[in-house]
Structure 1
Amino acid sequence: MFEKCEAIVMRTVDYGETNKIVTLFTREWGKVAVMARGAKKPSSRLSAVTQPLAYGHYLIRRSRGVGLLHQGELIDSMRALREDLFAAAYAAYIVELTDKGTEEQKRNPYLFELLLQTLQYMSEGRDLEIMTFIYEMKMLPVLGIPPVLDRCARCGATEGRFSFSVKEAGFLCHRCEAADPHQIPLSPASARLLRLFYHIDLARLGSISVKEGTKAELRAVLSSYYDEYAGLSLKAKRFLEQIAKLGDKLDSSGRHET
C-alpha cells in the first residue's frame, strides 16, 4: 500500500544505470530509504523530486528494508542552497548530522520541523554559521548529550562569570575554573548566546548579528563538545572546515590588495 508523506531528501545513492536509493527524512515516520526507479534519467518525473535537499510530498511504499517511491510533488527545491558553494556546504553538514544522529523509521516531527526551518532560513540568506550553531545546540539533546547551561556544572552557581568545560559538560563559574585547566573562556555574549540557541523557538527567530570574536568562541565550544561526546565522523564537517579555510584565505587576499 502506498502512503503519502512530507519529506526532505537527505541523500541519494546511484543504483544500477537508471535508479537511485533515496533517503528521505519524513515528518510522519522519520528516516526512510526508498528505491526511485528511473530517477537518474533527466526526463524522469522523479528526477527533480529526488535531488538532495528537495522538500515535497511523496507517495511511497514502506518496508523494513528499502521501500519504493511511486511519485513526488515538489514544494521547495532549495535551489538557492544547492547553487551556492558555502550554503551547500553548511546545508549538507546539518543534513548529515541529522542523518547520522537519527535511527531508521523513528518519528520525530520536532526535528523534521527544525531541519526544514533551518534549511529555509539558510535559503533566505540568514547567517549560515549562526544557523548552524543553533542547529548544533538543538541536536545535543537529540543525541543524548545535553550540556549544563543554566548553572555551574560543579557548584550550581547561577551568577558570575562563566567559561565552558568540555570535561564537566557545561558551564563553570569563575570560582570553579581551576577544576578544568582546559576550560574555554567565554565572553558574557557567548554564554548568553549558547543558552539562547539551546532554548529558542526557531520559528520566532529574529535578526541576530554576532561579532567574529564571539563566533570564534561559539565555534570552539561546539567543535570541542561534539568531538568529545557525539562520536560522529561527518564528511560534510571536514569539507566545511576546508571551505572555511578557503574563505579565510580569500578574505586575507582581499584585505592585502586594499
Structure 2
Amino acid sequence: MFEKTEGIVIRTLDYKETHKIVTLFTKRFGKIGVIAQGVKKPRSRNGAIIQMFIQGDYLLRVGKGLGTLQQGDVIHSFRKVREDLFKTAYASYVTELTYRVIEERVTLPYIYDQLLLTLTAIEQDKDPAIIAMMYEMKLYPLIGIKPLLEHCLACGTTSNLTYFSVGDGGTLCTSCGIKDAYSLKLNEQVIKLLRIFSEVDLKRVENISVKEENKQLLNQVLKAYFEHHSGIFLKSRRFLDQIDSLK
C-alpha cells in the first residue's frame, strides 16, 4: 500500500552497494524504517531527500517490515544545520535521542512538532544546548522517567528546593538534600528552569538566557539522570561533549 506522509530524517544506514536504510520520524506513522533504493548512485532522484535532518513529504510503500521510499519533496532542508559543526552536533544528538527512545510506528504528533521546532531553533541560532535539553525532557514521559520537581521527595515541602536526587528522580529541600550523599546541589533558579524545560512547549520559546554556570548544572543533572534511569548511551553524546570542549 502506498502512503504519503510528512517526516524528518533521523537516521541513515548504508545498505548493500547503492541503497540506504532511512529512518523517518513521521506525523502519520511515527518512527518508520524504509529502504531507499539506488540513492547512492550519482544521478539518483531521491538522494537529496534522505539527508539527515531534512523535513519532507514522502511517498512510501508501507508493509509489515521495512517500507520502501518511492519519492519525496523537500519541505525544509536544514542545510545551515548540516554546514555548521556545532549545530550538527546538537541536531545529531536530538535525532539519535528520538531514534533510541521512541518505538516503531507509534504516532506521536506532539513530539514530532517538538522535534521540528527544535531543529528550527537550532538553525535560527538560538542556544542549542538549552533547546536540546528542553526537547530531551519532552521525551522522558515516553519511557516513564519524568522527574518530580514540584516538592521534596523526602518530606513533601515545596520550599527551599535546592537539591536533586538522581537516583530517586526528583527534588529535595535543603534540609533533606544535605543528608543525601548522592544528591546534587543546585539552586532554586536551576530547579525552576527544569520545570520550564519539562512543561513549556518549544513554540512558546523566544530567547532564553541562562547563566553559563546554571547551564553547566542543568547539563550535569540531565546527563546523569538520563543515563541512570534510561540505560541508553548515545554516541552523539560523546561527540557533543568533545565539541563543547572546543568552545
Moved more, 1-10 or 14-23: 14-23
Q: SS of the residue aligned with 1:52?
A: coil
Answering whether residue 149 of structure 2 is matched by residue 119 of structure 1, we say no
In the TM superposition, what whole-angstrom CA distance separates every residue of 1:30-62 from its partner, at most 9, and x where no partner exists? 111111111112321101100011101000011
5+ long unaligned stretches in structure 1 = 248-258
What secondary structure is seen at the aligned counterpart in 1 of 2:245? helix
* Shift of residue 156, structure 1, vs aligned partner: 1.4
Deviation of 1:246 after TM superposition, in Å, equals 2.6
Counterpart contact for 2:114–2:201, Cα < 8 Å: no
Deviation of 1:17 after TM superposition, in Å, equals 2.1
Deviation at 1:12, TM superposition (A): 1.1
After superposition, what is the alpha-carbon deviation per residue over 1:52-106, rounded to whole angstroms, capped at 9, x for unaligned? Answer: 1110100001122111111001001110110101110110011001100011111
What residue is the counterpart of 1:211 in the other structure? 211
Kept in 2, the 8 Å contact 1:163–1:186? The answer is: yes
Alignment partners' CA distance in 1, 2:31 and 2:240: 24
Q: Distance in 1 between matches of 2:213 and 2:236?
A: 24
Give the 3-state SS of the residue equivalent to 1:70 in structure 2: strand
CA contact (8 A) 2:10 2:53 kept: yes
Asked if the contact 1:10/1:52 (under 8 Å) is kept, the reply is yes
Contact 2:57 / 2:72 at 8 angstroms: preserved in 1? Answer: yes
Q: Summarize deviations over 1:172-217 as a string: whole Å, max 9, x none.
A: 0112113411211112211110111111021111211111000011
In 2: Cα distance, 1:230 partner to 1:119 partner:
23
> Aligned partner of 1:109: which letter?
P
**In the alignment, structure 1 residue 54 sits paired with structure 2 residue 54:** yes
Residue of structure 2 in register with 1:30 after alignment: 30
Asked whether 1:195 is paired with 2:195, we answer: yes
- Alpha-carbon shift at residue 234 of structure 1 (Å): 0.8
Amino acid at match of 2:146: P
C-alpha distance in 1, partners of 2:133/2:97? Answer: 12
8 A contact 1:5–1:59 mirrored in 2: yes
Aligned length, in residue pairs:
247
Q: Within 5 Å, which residues of 2 pair with 1:75-224?
A: 75-224=75-224
- Looking at structure 1, the residues matched to 194 and 16 of structure 2 have their Cα atoms a distance apart, in angstroms, of 46
Supply the AA of the counterpart residue of 2:76: D
1:234 paired residue number:
234
Counterpart of 1:10 in structure 2 is 10
Name the structure 2 match of 1:225.
225
Gaps of 5+ in 2: none
Any idea what SS the aligned residue of 1:141 has?
Answer: helix
Distance across 1 between alignment mates of 2:65 and 2:210? 44
Q: Give, as a single letter, the amino acid of the residue that structure 2 aligns with 1:30.
A: G
Letter in 1 for 2:225: Y
Name the CA distance, whole Å, in 1 between partners of 2:145 and 2:134: 15
Specify the SS of the correspondent of 1:162.
Answer: strand
Spell out structure 1 runs of 4+ moving beyond 4 A.
Answer: none
Say if 1:57 and 1:74, in contact at 8 Å, map to a contact too. yes
- Identity rate, percent: 46
Tell me the SS of whatever aligns to 1:111: helix
Q: Write the letter of the residue equivalent to 1:75.
A: I
Which whole-Å CA distance do the structure 1 matches of 2:230 and 2:144 have between them? 9
SS at match of 1:91: helix
